[in-house]
Structure 1
Amino acid sequence: MVKPLLLGVEIGGTKLQVGLGHGDGAIVRLRRAPIDPAAGAAVLREQILEEADRACWAHGVTREAIEAVGIGFGGPIDAEEGITITSHHVSGWDRFPLRDWCRSQFRTEAVAIENDADTAGLAESRFGAGKGGATPLLYVTIGSGVGGGLILDGRIHRGTGLGAAEIGHLWVIPPDADGRGGRTVEQSASGWSITRFAREAISSGAPGSETLADLVDGDLEQLNAEVVALAAGLGDACSLALLDQAAHALAAGLAHAVTLLGLRRIVLGGGVSLIGEDLWFAPIRRRLEQLVFPGFRGSFDLVSSALGESVVIHGALALARDARAAHRQGSA
């Protein structure tokens, strides 16, 4: 029996990925390409078509062979309406009817669109670190920002329809009565925030920041979370303190999530999580154990992503498979 050919797409702020597969946990063709955020959404949409065509040609088929499309979009979306609400990186996505555009370009009604973190969570649940039925599962991606996806019994939980599990926007330090100050998980634990605090430490001459400054030859524009992790690995006290601060903030957000949702598994992905076990996962686990509702201690675990850089494509192909099945059922 010939398996249906599906297309999965990841639309990010700096990266585009397209993959062909069958929605069963395998990718048969994958293409990655950088994007130019300044070029806008219209140029990016043309790039999607070009990369999809190249993936199809490499597979020996044309675009017409694709039976369903799944997309993980880097920004808030309305999945029911099939529209992108906005992108914080690429202009031109405001209220764009992405599902209808895909239907016209790929000539299939079976199209599904979700937020990229939700899509990644679906992939981990079905094919990765949550495979085997760990539910509820919370996937958290820590990169330039912090996003989350809640998976219940193998399905994305969307709340009222506009998303759920936006853990990056939980307050870990509440603002004052006038709404001033405060800090969210994203403002504390993202790659962007770690970099910002590191730059402030160097600029203020904080004790122990010399190693950080030396690693970038004093050029603060070259500083990022990866450099902070490298300095921490060398024993730099300032960098160790910065990562510990970020880990504690993330653990506080995760403690709220566990307490509210009774999670079975937490999966951490994204570039910041590549910092590794000793400097990232272990401190988060220790702090989470301290902060979580005592009655839930021992009822959940925290693990790293199993699907790496292709996680959103795996999830997008799963979305495409579900969309095809739903379309066929509705047409029967």
Structure 2
Amino acid sequence: MGGTRGFGIDIGGSGIKGCVVDLTAGRLEAERIRIDTPDPASPDLIAGVVKKIVDGFGWTGRVGVTLPAVIKQGVAMTAANIDKSWIGTDARTLFAERLGRTPDEVAVLNDADAAGMAEIRYGWPGDQSGVVVLLTFGTGIGSALFLDGKLVPNTEFGHLEVDGLDAETRAAASVKDEQDLSWEEWARRVSRYIRTLEDLIWPDLIIAGGGVSKKADRWLPLLDVRTRVVPAELRNDAGIVGAAVAAELGAKP
């Protein structure tokens, strides 16, 4: 790896957070900066927050940025829990211009893909074998799919239809809070969702991420699924770490 430090920004529906990352250890070097996602969560307003966070650390190197969107060649093809004006936006060029970087100094990728990259790279070695899915439970449900440690980018398993509804409208962590569901009630919904996913891809392991992974002991034991489900080791910092990794990998030929 060309350097031992990187910088990642993780953009979510409720907050935007970033930090310098120790790329050798796979952890944040300092306390992250978090700023509420602006409303509307438009490209211009979000780019302004990203610049504020990067400038807050005085960081001058490469930057990785995640978005809750399908990303193709730096362009946002969808927009989940952010303003729909992101669709068709060249996010890599936008962030590069706002940060005073060249486009090849900025990496933009799906938020769940970034979190999954961090977990696979820095998690248990056994997490790299077979078909592994990372699911991030937050404002929505993000997903990252790996086959023997290699990413299959831009999966959107959070939008699977389950009982006639978009899965994340029933089983996202935000729904638990909004509907004041007990852990048992929410775990039943998550189980129903995971069973639908299992019937499609038969994973060998599921890694549960997002902020709710910090309370994994409250709900993972309640799941009724056939696949082993483990909490994400990097917890809610995985997106930042994965974004920094993507920026560093982008520096390589």
TM-score normalized by structure 2? 0.84
Q: Does 1:96 align with 2:36?
A: no
> Are the equivalent residues in 2 in contact too, given 1:190–1:272 (CA < 8 A)?
no
> Are the equivalent residues in 1 in contact too, given 2:213–2:236 (CA < 8 A)?
no
Q: Does 1:306 align with 2:243?
A: no
Q: Does 1:147 align with 2:142?
A: yes
Query: Could you tell me which residue of structure 2 aligns to residue 41 of structure 1?
Result: 43
Q: Does 1:156 align with 2:160?
A: no
Higher helix share: 1
* TM-superposed deviation, 1:38: 2.7
Quote the Cα distance in structure 2 between the aligned partners of 1:13 and 1:322.
26
Higher strand share: 2
Change (3 A) 1:129 1:72: farther
Structure 1: 5+ residue stretches without partners:
57-61, 174-181, 199-223, 230-239, 290-299
Between 1 and 2, higher relative CO (CA 8 Å, sep ≥ 6) is seen in 2
Change (3 A) 1:194 1:103: closer
Provide, for residues 231-256 of structure 1, a one-character-per-residue CA deviation record: whole Å limited to 9, x for no partner.
Answer: xxxxxxxxx4x234313313313422
Provide, for residues 112-143 of structure 1, a one-character-per-residue CA deviation record: whole Å limited to 9, x for no partner.
Answer: 21110111111111113566633432100112
Q: Does 1:52 align with 2:44?
A: no
Out of 188, 200, 207, the residue aligned to residue 245 of structure 1 is 188
* TM-superposed deviation, 1:4: 5.8
Quote the Cα distance in structure 1 between the aligned partners of 2:40 and 2:92.
23
Query: Could you tell me which residue of structure 1 aligns to residue 225 of structure 2?
Result: 288
Change (3 A) 1:147 1:264: same
Aligned-residue identity in percent: 24
Out of 115, 120, 139, the residue aligned to residue 120 of structure 1 is 115
Structure label with greater radius of gyration: 1
Q: What secondary structure sits across from 2:199 in the alignment?
A: helix
Quote the Cα distance in structure 1 between the aligned partners of 2:38 and 2:204.
39
Question: How big is the alpha-carbon RMSD for the aligned residues of Structure 1 and Structure 2?
Answer: 2.7
Quote the Cα distance in structure 2 between the aligned partners of 1:117 and 1:110.
21
- How many residue pairs align between the two structures? 248
Quote the Cα distance in structure 1 between the aligned partners of 2:173 and 2:127.
31
1:81-230 maps to which residues of 2 (within 5 A)? 82-91=74-83, 92-104=85-97, 105-108=99-102, 109-129=104-124, 133-158=128-153, 163-164=154-155, 166-173=156-163, 182-195=164-177, 198=179, 224-225=180-181, 228-229=182-183
